[in-house]
Amino acid sequence: MSKVKWKGVPVVVSSILFIISLLVVMVPLLVFVEEASSNPNLLSVSYRVDNESIILTVSYSGSIPLKDVKLILGNYSVDIGDLSKGSRALFRIPKNVSMNEFELDFNIFGLYPVRVVKNG
């Protein structure tokens, strides 16, 4: 009667767990990158100026939730919060804040911090 050889089982189980973990972790990133590649306005920040202030409009149309979104304009920062598909938020900021340069920080699915910087 042949003996069942168990010595390779931990390696096989670990390998399967590795592949599953990698897929679970990578899918949100890959989906976000694909969507961003095909739609440059996936996460858009636009503004208009009225008599008293600048009105920022932040909108997001991607499938993967973004966490801790923050917009930094010089010395002024706007905590936008979490964004999901279809999110749209308006913020009023002082009129003297420069819009030429900005830094946009967010976290893809809570796993991948991203920083986008536009220098004037």
Partner 1 sequence: MGRIPRPVRIILLSVVGVVVGVLYYYIYGYMIPSIFSGYGFEVNAPKGVSVMIMLFILLGIFERVLPRIPAGAVRILSKVVGAIYLYYITSGGILSGEISGLSVTIDVSTIIYLVIGFSLLIGLLDAFSSLSPEALTE
Residues making contact with partner 1 (CB under 8 A) = 5, 7-8, 10-11, 14-15, 17-18, 21-22, 25-26, 29, 33, 37, 40, 111-119
Nearby residues of 69 by Cβ (< 8 Å), 6 or more positions away: 43, 58, 79, 80, 81, 82, 83, 104, 105, 106
Q: How far is the CB of 51 from partner 1 (least distance, A)?
A: 31
Of 33 and 49, the one with the shorter C-beta distance to partner 1 is 33
Report, in Å, the least distance between residue 62 CB and partner 1.
Answer: 15
Looking at the Cβ atoms of 53 and 82, the one nearer to partner 1 is 82
Alpha-carbon distance 56 to 61, whole Å? 17
Nearer to partner 1, 15 or 57 (CB): 15
Order of all β-strands in the sheet with 53-60 = 43-49, 53-60, 87-94
91/112 with CB nearer partner 1 = 112
Q: In angstroms, what is the minimal distance from the CB of 115 to partner 1? A: 5
User: Which conformational region is residue 81 in: left (phi greater than 0), alpha (psi within -120 to 50 degrees), or beta?
Assistant: left
Minimum Å distance from CB 87 to partner 1? Answer: 21
- Angle among Cα 20, 67, 75 to the nearest 5 degrees reads 140
